[in-house]
Amino acid sequence: MSAAAPILIARRRPDLSPGVWTVAAAILLFMVVVPLAWILVASVHSDQDNRLTPANYVEAFTKSIYLQPIRNSLILAALSAAPTCRAAP
């Protein structure tokens, strides 16, 4: 604050701030958007030859050994959440 006072008539320095916010936004893209987008991209490519294919979805959601875990997850999560309806002090 003390530093602000002498600048009363000082010439305005070029405002760098949009740069800073843009960098922050870019980092967020790199941290959040890019990885999630890559999941989408990866999911439609074959593990064997990297061709574009919906086969992964077909395999993941038709084979019973992959469907059972989904059922288990839902049961597990539902049962774990149930007792938390307990009132707290």
Instruction: Establish if 26 lies at the interface with another protein (CB under 8 A).
Output: no
Q: For 32, which DSSP code?
A: I
Instruction: Establish if 42 lies at the interface with another protein (CB under 8 A).
Output: yes
Instruction: Establish if 52 lies at the interface with another protein (CB under 8 A).
Output: no
In angstroms, rounded to a whole number, what is the distance separating the alpha carbons of residues 80 and 83?
7
Provide the β-strand partners of residue 45: 52
Instruction: Establish if 3 lies at the interface with another protein (CB under 8 A).
Output: yes
Give the total of residues touching another protein (CB under 8 A).
Answer: 67
Is residue 85 a contact partner of residue 79, using CB atoms and an 8 Å limit? Answer: no
In angstroms, rounded to a whole number, what is the distance separating the alpha carbons of residues 67 and 81?
22
Query: Binding residues for another protein, per CB under 8 A?
Result: 1, 3-5, 7-10, 12-13, 15-18, 20-22, 24-25, 27-29, 31-47, 56-57, 59-61, 65-66, 68-70, 72-89
